[in-house]
Amino acid sequence: MLPELGHFVLILALLLALLQAFFGLAGPALGRERWTGAVSAALAGQAVMVGTAVACLVHAFVTDDFSVLYVAENSNSALPLFYRVTALWGAHEGSLLLWILLLALWSVAVALRSGSLPASFAARVLGVLGLVSFGFLLFTLATSNPFARLEPAAPDGRDLNPILQDPGLAVHPPILYTGYVGFAVAFAFACAAMLEGRLDQAWARWTRPWTSWAWAFLTCGIALGSFWAYYELGWGGFWFWDPVENASFMPWLVGTALVHSLAVTDKRGLFKSWTLLLAILAFSLSMVGTFLVRSGVLVSVHSFAADPSRGMFILAFLIIMIGGALTLYAWRAPLLRSSAGFELGARESFLLFNNVLLVTAAATVFAGTLAPLIADALNLGTLSVGPPYFNPTFLLSMLPLVGLLALGIHANWKRGRLRDKQRLLLVTALVAALLAAGVAFGVYSGPHVLTPVAMTLGFWIALASLVDPLDRWRRGLSLPRAVLGMTIAHLGLAMAVIALTTVQSFTVERDVALAPGESARVGGYELRFEGVRHVEGPNYDAIAGSFALTHHGQPVRTMQPQKRQFWVQHQVTSETAITMDHGNNLLLALGDDLGAGRWSVRVQVRPLVTLVWLAALVMAIGAFIAASDRRYRVTAAALAPGTVLPERVRG
């Protein structure tokens, strides 16, 4: 009965989302205060219904109800309890349900924090969010009902895809989706502002914390995904420019641009229509990401769905949502006027360059991701675009970006007075170059041409971001959380630049054939093969190899990579062994029995790769801190309804 209940409450949620959208949009438009007031009730109902539906599906998983098709396809009675719960988002239908749940949670959070927003504006925000919820609920119910029954019930389930049986999967999709869906809030704020006909600095101030939260979650989600791919997918590497990775990276790039452009709109009242466009774009790319991953149009490591009707539905939905928002934009944006100007060397200019470069980067990634599709549609042959395209084009916009960051961080608003800071710039650049040379030539050897350049930029950003906070501290001034957060996020970026440069320049990878007792040397490490043995897991058989690792004669540790064969799907997966030593990540993957007692082994030594993920975490922490700054709360209260707002646009 519970699956039917789940299906039923999902239909109720659909109707409530429609009501939420209707009250939220029609109420303020027609001036019906009762309708406006009913939005939160509709939202609360929708959220409770969605929560109940999720609980029903979790219950079906936990109790092994194999009469539910989705459970039968993605679970098994031998599956550990933990993975039975996370299997909820192991495939298409459940991921969508997760998406809807997160959207409901974001909407509730907005509703709870909306007390200080003008009532009509808050209602419109929730109305737009209701529209998005409605679309996704309709999609789920029409094409991918997770509660569909299997008649007769399967005796046992087909099991969760073995590569997804990992703690990484438990956290990666929910956090990534929280980021994706979070941009819906920025999108809703943008649409509400255009409907309301008001886009002032207060608007930017309300939108900023939400955008920062979404951006921080997306950053964590991408880093976790990269980490998961590194240790679980078994072919070692942390970024493949795979379509699914790109799908999450494009909204991140545009979201980063949005965070910066919002700062200008907030502080100076400029870039208004551009900010609106970015807010629309960031969420559109999040939805396009869903489309790319879930429609099966682009097949990649992570895609499991391949159903064209779903693709068509998402395409139609995308056209309606994005097209609608852009139409609204075309109608309203010309009404926006910015009177203030700024000089070339002012902070506004640098943030403008930041935006242009980030959007260019997103565009090159977009082109590379969609080129195979377009070539296919135009009959130009089957082609694939990989790192040889993405790496140089991405660097092309990223190197100037980080260089300009180190300069622009010293620039003042409005006036270009960088000349005053000349000495400071020179000193920090020089120290950075010395540090970079020290690392590039001293610690590691044989760098590429770009290695010292990129590394100098990395150190330069780190030093440059510290100048302002140190100056404030020395002068006894307070350090607002917004500034502290920005500094931390920029330090995170510096870490990322340094770590990525090191990994890309100094990674050593070798495939070797070893018999027990033989050893191989890879990147300063010696690896002695001690043999294989048979291991049995809860739902798989495995062969485990044993390798003794030494560094310059000093024993480091014994590593035991496994090759697992799962009982239900008979799929073979490699369980890599990873160890950290002196900042290096060593990865071992056991290959095949080559005969004559030898086994093939893949050995990778990646210096500082852990720092790449840590850097992402630091950036996210910076964004969280910045989002919690008091100025975003105080101003909202100060702008109580009735306050006459400046720069009000004619409606």
Partner 1 sequence: MTPTRRRRLLLVLGILCGVGIAGALALNAFRRNVTFFFDPSQVAQGQVAPGQDFRLGGMVQEGSLRRAPGSLEVSFVVTDFAHQVPVRYDKVLPDLFREGAGVVAHGHLDGSGTFVADDVLAKHDEKYMPPEVARSLKRRHGESRTAPAAPQPAPLPSGAGS
Least distance to partner 1 from the beta carbon of 409, Å?
20
Task: Tell me how far apart the alpha carbons of residues 619 and 486 are, in angstroms, rounded to a whole number.
Answer: 9
Q: Kindly report the number of other CB atoms within 10 A of residue 479's CB atom.
A: 12
Least distance to partner 1 from the beta carbon of 297, Å?
8
Which stretch, 141-149, 375-383, 451-459, 479-487, contacts partner 1 (CB under 8 A)?
Answer: 375-383
Please give the size of the binding site for partner 1, defined by CB under 8 A: 69
Residue 455, exposed/middle/buried by CB under 10 A (0-12, 13-18, 19+)?
Answer: buried
**Residue 4 within binding range of partner 1, rule CB under 8 A:** no
| Between 142 and 373, CB nearer to partner 1 | 373
Q: What is the footprint of partner 1 within residues 486-515 (CB under 8 A)? A: 511-513, 515
**Residue 597 within binding range of partner 1, rule CB under 8 A:** yes
**Residue 554 within binding range of partner 1, rule CB under 8 A:** no
Among 232, 242, 266, 629, binds partner 1 (CB under 8 A): 242
The count of C-alpha atoms lying within 13 angstroms of the C-alpha of 256, restricted to the half-sphere facing its C-beta, is: 27
Compose the 144-173 pattern: x for residues touching partner 1 by CB under 8 A, - for all others. Answer: -----------------x------------
Secondary structure (DSSP) of 73-124: HH--TTS-HHHHHHGGGSSHHHHHHHHHHHHHHHHHHHHHGGGGS-HHHHHH
**Residue 67 within binding range of partner 1, rule CB under 8 A:** no
Tokens for 587?
């990865």
Element (H, E) at 1: none
Compose the 318-357 pattern: x for residues touching partner 1 by CB under 8 A, - for all others. Answer: -----------------------x-xx----x--xx--x-
Q: Report CA 525 to chain centroid distance, whole Å.
A: 35
**Residue 520 within binding range of partner 1, rule CB under 8 A:** no
**Residue 456 within binding range of partner 1, rule CB under 8 A:** no
Task: Tell me how far apart the alpha carbons of residues 6 and 196 are, in angstroms, rounded to a whole number.
Answer: 37
Compose the 195-214 pattern: x for residues touching partner 1 by CB under 8 A, - for all others. Answer: --------------------
**Residue 387 within binding range of partner 1, rule CB under 8 A:** yes
Q: What is the footprint of partner 1 within residues 74-133 (CB under 8 A)? A: none
Cis previous bond, 152, omega within 30: yes
Among 305, 396, 404, 649, binds partner 1 (CB under 8 A): 396
Least distance to partner 1 from the beta carbon of 251, Å?
17
Phi and psi dihedrals of 129, rounded to 5? -60, -35
Among 167, 376, 430, 471, binds partner 1 (CB under 8 A): 376
Cα distances (angstroms) measured from residue 251 to each of 33, 181, 366, 402: 36, 11, 10, 19
Compose the 221-240 pattern: x for residues touching partner 1 by CB under 8 A, - for all others. Answer: -------------xx-x--x
Least distance to partner 1 from the beta carbon of 509, Å?
9
Least distance to partner 1 from the beta carbon of 349, Å?
7
SS3 for 235-256 is CCCCCCCCHHHHHHHHHHHHHH
Least Cα distance to 300 among 361, 224, 225, 362 occurs for: 225
Tokens for 457?
């930029």
**Residue 517 within binding range of partner 1, rule CB under 8 A:** no
Task: Tell me how far apart the alpha carbons of residues 86 and 63 are, in angstroms, rounded to a whole number.
Answer: 14
Among 34, 81, 382, 449, binds partner 1 (CB under 8 A): 382
Residue for token digits 């080559």? 594
Task: Tell me how far apart the alpha carbons of residues 304 and 285 are, in angstroms, rounded to a whole number.
Answer: 20
SS3 for 257-281 is HHHHHHHHHHHHCCCHHHHHHHHHH
**Residue 301 within binding range of partner 1, rule CB under 8 A:** yes
Least distance to partner 1 from the beta carbon of 397, Å?
6
**Residue 449 within binding range of partner 1, rule CB under 8 A:** no
Q: Which residues bind partner 1 (CB under 8 A)?
A: 161, 234-235, 237, 240-243, 246, 298-301, 304, 341, 343-344, 349, 352-353, 356, 360, 364, 367-369, 371-373, 375-376, 379-390, 392-393, 396-397, 511-513, 515, 563, 569-574, 589, 591-592, 594-598, 600-602
